[in-house]
């Protein structure tokens, strides 16, 4: 499992992201400075359009900031080649998408195996790891189903299993419980707690106060900048 | 290296999945290549088997057979000269030339014309006067009856050895030996029917009548206008060039030609005819190959078109793959291999189709009906389709590999 120490794994310095929409310039992230240590359990909240998802995409190396520097594991992401970025996305980060982003024509098993396809290992090992991940999210009985045969909650769990299967140091979840009922939400959050206990760094985007309260640290974004950054004590105080 | 191999294997798997997921579209895409390769293979196979058949037939004629004929060059022609090879020339050559077997003289029976009659039927044919040695030189054997004998020639018998077309055109009985045919008023007894040789390039090889040389010579009348062809075969191992030089010397001495005078005769070999024919078939093959090559190009553009559509359509899929850690190289391989498989698939099907088509057409062609697809045509087709796959697959594959993950994921 992941080694437990308190170096900062994520270090954002003056990260800004601008979008050119028609002839209007839209600033999704405005000079974000943020440091996240290993094994932190962070919630990013904020109203819609506040830049939560853009921040997640930058953290997951899916998007490049317009300016500023992003150090992941002490390495400047901007200096990495496309192939190195692919390796970071594959080995370093597990990304759970809000809209799942599953392959519609592939079975649950194939979907979960997909990140391992980009690694050199025997197929039997890929399958074994995928089955283990699916077992952890409680989908052992849906291995050969297609995504469209599953409920929203089940699809969400496939997406989580796909993020877990590579055993990444950092798990990024964009509204990971957004589509789930309260019972399943509880199960999923318990799973995140467990992953946190195992040493993973967990960062979740959420607009649900319950989820945010579950996390140890809550960062609130408004209009592309950090409005508050609070460490949760035992009692919840920020929503 | 291990990573490239891994990307290659997994890329192939992904490409196979994508192709089978769009079965109909993949089939239509490969159609252009199928038709292109099929056409190349058909044309080449037919030309090859045609040329093999003809070469066989020329070999039957005896590729080592040499014909010596009178030759009048254009300058002499303008002066009204017409050179001839006489029977005396033949006798002298036969007596003096070494290392030659089966030398024979043939003469056109111009006095008899070309018309032959039997009962109420008549037909046009060529009438050749020659002797018994002709059979060995030209490899003509009787199906029924016999060939000319030495005594036929010595006694100037009015006998004829006929080709199967003559017998057929004249509605003769299935065994025509012993029947009488009329050549411009002179009656000849049929003594043999030749084996059927078939056609070369539409030229009937069985439309002839052979009669004894001396008979034709006497019927032709005036000996002064003799013009004969001489055919011979060098003995095994003998140099044709030496024999030619020897004969040239004999004939030039006999006619007292000075150094300035040109030869009044020339040598022709079946080998030369074979070479000329090979040249013709090669030209036809390459021209036809070039034309169908264009259809391969069109097929390649079809593949590129579909690959571009495929990349656009699967933008989101590419985005997911990149987000999960696929390298640009991996995506490049996947789409390149997909294009390659499509074009190679077209190549294989086209090859089978072309072979089948050529085999079908070959059934209506002369010869033993075998089809040969030369290895170079197969190699060329595969080389070409591979090149098409790579060249036309490269642009869409590069496009796919360069997509930005977040933009690709947002694509609906």
User: Mind listing the pLDDT tens digit for each residue in B265-281?
Assistant: 888 887 777 777 778 88
Q: Which residue of A has its CA nearest to B408?
A: A62
Q: What pLDDT was estimated at residue A3?
A: 41
Quick one: which of B122, B131, B200 has its CA closest to B166? Answer: B122
Question: Which of A101, A114, A166 is opposite residue B409, by nearest beta carbon?
Answer: A101
Average pLDDT over residues B148-152: 87
Local structure of residue B231 (DSSP, 8 states)? E
Do the chains contact at B323 and A87, CB–CB below 8 Å? no
Angle value at C-alpha A163, between A158 and A169, nearest 5 degrees: 155
Average pLDDT over residues B234-262: 82
The sign of the torsion formed by the CA atoms of A75, A76, A79, A82 equals positive
- Higher per-residue confidence, B230 vs B291: B230
Q: What pLDDT was estimated at residue B366?
A: 63
Average pLDDT over residues B214-222: 78
Q: Which residue of A has its CA nearest to B320?
A: A101
Q: Is residue A198 part of a domain?
A: yes
Do the chains contact at A63 and B321, CB–CB below 8 Å? no
Tokens (6 digits) for B13: 């798997």
Task: Give the integer Cα–Cα distance in Å for A210 and A159.
Answer: 21
Place of tokens 């297609």: A146
Do the chains contact at A90 and B21, CB–CB below 8 Å? no
Q: What pLDDT was estimated at residue B227?
A: 79
Mutate to test the interface with B, among A106, A117, A163, A173 (most CBs of B within 10 A): A117
Question: Which of A63, A83, A118 is opposite residue B324, by nearest beta carbon?
Answer: A118
Do the chains contact at A117 and B21, CB–CB below 8 Å? no
Q: Is residue A31 part of a domain?
A: no
Do the chains contact at A86 and B320, CB–CB below 8 Å? no
Q: Is residue A171 part of a domain?
A: yes
Angle value at C-alpha A151, between A150 and A153, nearest 5 degrees: 120
Q: What pLDDT was estimated at residue A219?
A: 94
Please tell me whether the overall predicted TM-score, pTM, comes out greater than 0.80 for this model: no
Do the chains contact at B328 and A86, CB–CB below 8 Å? yes
Average pLDDT over residues B368-393: 80
Q: Which residue of B has its CA nearest to A118?
A: B326
CA of B179: how far to CAs of A83, B151, B157, B188, B216, in Å?
93, 20, 15, 8, 19
Tokens (6 digits) for B400: 């796919």
Q: What pLDDT was estimated at residue B68?
A: 84
From the number of C-beta atoms within 10 Å of its C-beta (0-12, 13-18, 19+), residue B192 rates as buried
Q: What pLDDT was estimated at residue B241?
A: 83
Average pLDDT over residues B145-161: 88
Average pLDDT over residues B299-314: 84
Residue B101 confidence (pLDDT) above 70: yes
Question: Which of A97, A105, A115 is opposite residue B325, by nearest beta carbon?
Answer: A115
Q: What pLDDT was estimated at residue B222?
A: 59
CB A205 within 8 A of CB A173: yes
Do the chains contact at A103 and B10, CB–CB below 8 Å? no
Q: Is residue A115 part of a domain?
A: yes
Average pLDDT over residues B101-119: 79
Q: Which residues pair with A8 in a beta bridge?
A: A37
Beta-carbon contacts of B309 under 8 Å, excluding residues fewer than 6 positions away, are: none
Q: What pLDDT was estimated at residue B201?
A: 59
Count CA atoms closer than 13 A to B380's CA, side-chain side.
Answer: 17
CB B325 within 8 A of CB A90: yes
Q: Which residue of B has its CA nearest to A56?
A: B406
Provide the ipTM.
0.90
Q: What pLDDT was estimated at residue B2?
A: 67
Place of tokens 């074009």: B343
Q: Say which CATH number the domain at A107 has.
A: 3.40.50.300
Q: Kindly indicate the confidence band of residue B355, based on its pLDDT and cuts at 50, 70 and 90.
A: confident
- Interface residues of A toward B, Cβ cutoff 8 Å, are 57, 60, 62-63, 82-83, 86-87, 89-91, 95, 97, 101-103, 105, 114-115, 117-120, 162, 166
Q: Is residue A114 part of a domain?
A: yes
- Interface residues of B toward A, Cβ cutoff 8 Å, are 2-3, 6, 10, 14, 21, 316-317, 319-330, 404-406, 409
Chain A residues with CB inside 8 Å of B319's CB?
101
Residue B111 confidence (pLDDT) above 70: no
Instruction: Give residue A222's domain range.
Output: 39-61+86-231
Pairs across A and B, CB distance < 8 A: 65
pLDDT for B359-372, tens place per residue?
888 777 765 656 77
Distance from CA of A83 to the nearest CA of B (A): 5
Q: What pLDDT was estimated at residue A77?
A: 92
State how many domains chain A has. Answer: 1
CA of A16: how far to CAs of A37, A43, A53, A67, A206, in Å?
21, 20, 14, 5, 21
Quick one: which of A222, A173, A186, A197 has its CA closest to A43? Answer: A173
Do the chains contact at B330 and A118, CB–CB below 8 Å? yes
Residue B220 confidence (pLDDT) above 50: yes
From the number of C-beta atoms within 10 Å of its C-beta (0-12, 13-18, 19+), residue B105 rates as buried
Q: Which residue of B has its CA nearest to A166?
A: B324
Q: Is residue A223 part of a domain?
A: yes
Chain B residues with CB inside 8 Å of A82's CB?
327-328
Q: What pLDDT was estimated at residue B234?
A: 83
Phi and psi at residue B121, to the nearest 5°: -90, 145
| Of A9-13, B180-184, B237-241, minimum mean pLDDT range | B237-241
| Of A177-181, A206-210, B42-46, B165-169, minimum mean pLDDT range | A177-181
Angle value at C-alpha B314, between B311 and B320, nearest 5 degrees: 120
Quick one: which of B263, B252, B251 has its CA closest to B90? Answer: B251
Local structure of residue B110 (DSSP, 8 states)? G
Do the chains contact at A87 and B316, CB–CB below 8 Å? no
Q: What pLDDT was estimated at residue A114?
A: 94
Chain B residues with CB inside 8 Å of A103's CB?
317, 320
Q: Is residue A33 part of a domain?
A: no
Average pLDDT over residues B57-73: 74
Average pLDDT over residues B74-79: 78
In 3-state terms, what secondary structure has residue A64? coil
Q: Which segments of B62-133 does DSSP mark as H helices, in order?
A: 74-78, 87-96
Q: Mean pLDDT in each 10-residue stretch from start to end of chain A (239 residues)?
A: 60 91 84 93 91 92 92 91 92 91 92 93 93 92 94 89 94 85 85 91 90 90 92 56
Chain centroid offset of residue A171 CA = 5
Q: What is the mean pLDDT of chain B?
A: 82
Tokens (6 digits) for A189: 């959050």
């Amino acid at each position: 499992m992941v080694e437990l120490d308190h170096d900062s794994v994520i270090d954002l310095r003056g990260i800004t992201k601008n979008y050119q929409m028609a002839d209007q310039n839209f600033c999704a992230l405005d000079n974000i400075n943020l440091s996240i240590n290993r094994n932190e359990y962070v919630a990013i909240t904020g109203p819609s359009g506040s830049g939560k998802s853009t921040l997640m995409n930058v953290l997951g190396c899916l998007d490049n900031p317009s300016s500023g520097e992003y150090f992941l594991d002490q390495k400047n992401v901007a200096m990495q080649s496309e192939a190195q970025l692919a390796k970071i996305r594959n080995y370093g980060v597990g990304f759970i998408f809000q809209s799942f982003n599953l392959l519609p024509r592939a079975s649950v098993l194939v979907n979960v195996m997909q990140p391992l396809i980009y690694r050199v290992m025997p197929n039997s090992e890929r399958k074994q790891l995928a089955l283990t991940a699916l077992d952890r999210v409680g989908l052992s009985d849906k291995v050969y189903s297609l995504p469209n045969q599953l409920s929203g909650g089940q699809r969400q769990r496939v997406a989580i299993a796909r993020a877990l299967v590579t055993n990444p140091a950092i798990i990024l979840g964009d509204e990971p419980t957004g589509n789930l009922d309260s019972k399943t939400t509880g199960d999923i959050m318990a799973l995140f707690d467990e992953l946190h206990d195992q040493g993973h760094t967990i960062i979740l985007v959420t607009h649900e106060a319950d989820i945010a309260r579950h996390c140890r640290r809550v960062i609130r974004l408004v209009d592309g900048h950090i409005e508050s950054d609070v460490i949760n004590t035992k009692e919840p105080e920020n929503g | 290296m291990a990573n490239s191999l891994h990307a290659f294997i997994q890329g192939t798997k992904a490409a196979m999945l994508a192709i089978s997921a769009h079965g109909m579209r993949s089939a239509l895409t490969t159609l252009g290549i199928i038709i292109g390769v099929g056409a190349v293979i058909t044309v080449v196979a037919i030309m090859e088997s045609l040329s093999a058949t003809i070469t066989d037939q020329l070999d039957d004629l005896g590729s080592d057979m040499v014909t010596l004929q009178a030759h009048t060059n254009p300058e002499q022609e303008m002066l009204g000269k017409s050179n001839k090879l006489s029977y005396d020339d033949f006798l002298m050559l036969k007596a003096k030339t070494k290392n030659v077997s089966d030398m024979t003289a043939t003469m056109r029976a111009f006095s008899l014309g070309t018309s032959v009659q039997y009962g109420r039927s008549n037909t046009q044919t060529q009438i050749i006067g020659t002797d018994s040695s002709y059979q060995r030189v030209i490899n003509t054997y009787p199906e029924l009856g016999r060939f000319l004998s030495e005594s036929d020639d010595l006694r100037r018998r009015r006998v004829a050895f006929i080709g199967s077309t003559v017998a057929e055109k004249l509605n003769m009985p299935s065994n025509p030996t012993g029947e009488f045919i009329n050549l411009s008023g002179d009656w000849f007894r049929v003594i043999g029917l030749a084996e059927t040789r078939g056609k070369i390039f539409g030229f009937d090889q069985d439309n002839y009548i052979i009669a004894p040389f001396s008979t034709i010579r006497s019927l032709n009348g005036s000996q002064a206008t003799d013009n004969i062809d001489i055919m011979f075969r060098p003995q095994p191992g003998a140099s044709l060039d030496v024999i030619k030089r020897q004969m040239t010397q004999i004939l030039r001495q006999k006619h007292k030609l000075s150094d300035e005078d040109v030869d009044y005769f020339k040598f022709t070999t079946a080998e030369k005819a074979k070479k000329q024919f090979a040249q013709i078939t090669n030209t036809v093959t390459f021209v036809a190959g070039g034309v169908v090559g264009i259809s391969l190009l069109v097929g390649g553009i079809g593949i590129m078109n579909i690959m571009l559509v495929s990349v656009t359509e699967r933008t989101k899929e590419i985005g997911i793959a990149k987000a999960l850690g696929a390298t640009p190289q991996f995506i490049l391989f996947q789409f390149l291999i997909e294009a390659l498989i499509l074009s190679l698939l077209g190549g294989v099907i086209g090859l089978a189709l072309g072979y089948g088509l050529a085999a079908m057409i070959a059934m209506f062609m002369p010869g033993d009906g075998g089809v040969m697809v030369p290895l170079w045509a197969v190699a060329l087709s595969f080389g070409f389709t591979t090149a098409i796959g790579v060249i036309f697959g490269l642009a869409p594959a590069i496009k796919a590999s360069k997509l930005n993950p977040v933009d690709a994921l947002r694509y609906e």
